[in-house]
Amino acid sequence: MTRFFVSPEQMQSQFLVLNGENAAHAKVLRLKAGEQVLVCDGAGNECECTISDVSPNQISLVVNSRRESSSEAMVKASVYMAFSKGDKLEHVIQKATELGAYEIVAFPSKRCVSRPDDKSLAKKLERWQKIAASAAEQSGRGRIPQVVVVSSYKDALVRASNADKAILFYENEQATTLKMALSDSRYSSISLLTGPEGGLEPEEVEQAKSYGLSVCTLGKRILRCETAPLCALSAVMYDSGEF
Amino acid sequence: MTRFFVSPEQMQSQFLVLNGENAAHAKVLRLKAGEQVLVCDGAGNECECTISDVSPNQISLVVNSRRESSSEAMVKASVYMAFSKGDKLEHVIQKATELGAYEIVAFPSKRCVSRPDDKSLAKKLERWQKIAASAAEQSGRGRIPQVVVVSSYKDALVRASNADKAILFYENEQATTLKMALSDSRYSSISLLTGPEGGLEPEEVEQAKSYGLSVCTLGKRILRCETAPLCALSAVMYDSGEF
């Protein structure tokens, strides 16, 4: 069923009107009166609607039933990724959204080559949030993951450590596997941190430990900075029973 | 340590010579006499060498020790991906190599929009194999996964079913998880099949079952055709104890 995102306020009413991009999208799909669509508030609630009327720039809907979205992951997984070059962060935002991430947090670290200034950051954040919204729509999610930027590595650690489990992946770690870190206790939220192209500095890894993060390996092969977070997220989704 | 791939024949000698692309790469890295490098035959064997001499177009090496590569995955995971549009197959070849895939097999299926003809296929296969070699080098693998093309969906099923486990992922499957399919017995080889952009036809799914493949879900969200194989491969690497 086609899925549209509207604001939580719009979702309150018994009769909904889709306009702007949503109406344009409906036009492309040639939706007609009588067809069923799904409307989501992007925060985990959705309603099944019947199209009552189609006009050039808006679509009117009648709400049939409301429910909590059934396509959200059971575990809230936050993907913390260091700023990286090119469109790698965009790639990870799109894929992590598909894979069910709760949020994506970008942070600076010592070896980050690319670090956007405040001015370009506002623009980028808007673009990143749109990528997340579009991937959420395409993958059938009921929630749009928020893309968050924190201003320091320390802030990332403090924020990450609030989850039930907080894991930092480091290519020089060999002994502790993700499986060990996950198997010692249940978790309903998890933070997954990965470094930039050049990796994290050993001091940064020590600092993460001091904030309570577990340092784990992702295996014997060196993963690119855009592969590591998605590999870790896939494993967590598998571990927590999603598939 | 910098890693070079040579042919298995070249690896036999006690004194190795790197030339061509390898020598050019060594030049870029400004390697000098006395430095240590790793030379791999791309088939799982490697030797640690000391550079004895550097000339403009070749590098001479003395072999110090030989060993089996320690960075190969314990399970042989074959990634079977339907032909897809654009550079998605290239993306999957690169990432699956990093993640430790044993081989990548491309196959046609009913809803494949893109299906290269024999002439362009030979060229593409050469390009795909280069992508695998380069990703193997960068991720520190001792083996270059082979990229294979099979000419029919049936051939893919027959080939895939030779592994200890053969799994087909289907978006309309809800009951059987990958975890269920993996937990009933041990495995040292596994085939992971995923469909093209438009998904597999229900008859194709039934056909896969008749060849002994298990049909599994990858969770409640619809994954893009380039995300699904990497998600499945990451989960298998996690499940089999790689990280």
Interface check B179 vs A, CB under 8 A: yes
Which residues from chain B sit within 8 angstroms of residue A234, using beta carbons? 230-232, 234-235, 238
Q: What are the b/e assignments for A91-111, b being 16+ CB within 10 Å?
A: bbbbbbbbbbbbbbbbbbbee
Query: Which tens digits make up the pLDDT trace of B205-221?
Result: 999 999 999 999 999 99
Parts of chain A with a pLDDT under 70: none
Is domain B76-239 classified as CATH 1.10.10.60?
A: no
Which tokens in the block code for residue A205? Answer: 């890894």
Which tokens in the block code for residue B103? Answer: 């081989």
Integer-rounded Cα Rg, in Å, for chain A is 20
Whole-model pTM? 0.93
Q: Tokens 């409301």 — which residue?
A: A66
ipTM entry: 0.92
Q: Is A30 exposed, middle or buried (0-12, 13-18, 19+ CB in 10 A)?
A: exposed
Question: What is the reported pLDDT for A118?
Answer: 83
Give the sign of the dihedral formed by CA A44, CA A48, CA A54, CA A55.
negative
Question: What is the reported pLDDT for A112?
Answer: 92
Which residues from chain B sit within 8 angstroms of residue A221, using beta carbons? 71, 98-100, 139-141
Closest Cβ opposite residue B235 in set A140, A222, A235: A235
Instruction: Give the 3-state secondary structure percentages of chain B, helix then strand then coil, rounded to 5.
Output: 35, 30, 40
Can A3-68 and A76-239 be said to share one CATH topology?
A: no
Q: How many CA atoms lie within 13 A of B147 on its CB side?
A: 29
Closest Cβ opposite residue A230 in set B138, B222, B230: B230
Q: Is A189 exposed, middle or buried (0-12, 13-18, 19+ CB in 10 A)?
A: middle
Give the sign of the dihedral formed by CA B4, CA B8, CA B9, CA B14.
positive
Residue B196 phi/psi, 5° resolution?
-85, -175
Query: Which tens digits make up the pLDDT trace of B113-147?
Result: 878 888 889 999 999 999 999 999 999 999 999 99
Interface check A224 vs B, CB under 8 A: yes
Closest CA to B230 of B128, B118, B98, B56: B98
C-alpha A110/C-alpha A84 separation (Å) is: 12
Which tokens in the block code for residue A145? Answer: 């993951």
Question: What is the reported pLDDT for A115?
Answer: 81
∠ CA A174-A179-A181, nearest 5°, is: 80
Interface check B139 vs A, CB under 8 A: yes
Candidates B226, B233, B238, partner chain A, best to mutate (most A CBs within 10 A): B238
Domain boundaries, chain A: 3-68, 76-239
CB contact under 8 A, B218 and A243: yes
C-alpha B114/C-alpha B94 separation (Å) is: 19
CB contact under 8 A, B234 and A239: no
Closest Cβ opposite residue A219 in set B95, B100, B230: B100
Question: What is the reported pLDDT for B154?
Answer: 98
Q: Is A50 exposed, middle or buried (0-12, 13-18, 19+ CB in 10 A)?
A: middle
Parts of chain B with a pLDDT under 70: none
User: Domain spanning B3-68 has what CATH number?
Assistant: 2.40.240.20
Size of interface A-B (CB pairs under 8 A): 112
Cα B15 to Cα A100, B58, B177, distances in angstroms: 52, 13, 51
Q: Tokens 């992508």 — which residue?
A: B131
CB B97 within 8 A of CB B229: no
- B146-149, strands of its sheet edge to edge: B146-149, B103-107, B76-82, B189-194, B165-169, B214-216
C-alpha B89/C-alpha B104 separation (Å) is: 9
Rounded to the nearest 10 degrees, the angle between the axes of helix B88-99 and helix B228-239 is 10
∠ CA A179-A183-A186, nearest 5°, is: 130
> Which helix or strand (DSSP H or E) is residue B29 part of?
none
Q: What is the DSSP letter of B213?
A: P
In the beta sheet, which residues pair with residue B81? B106, B194
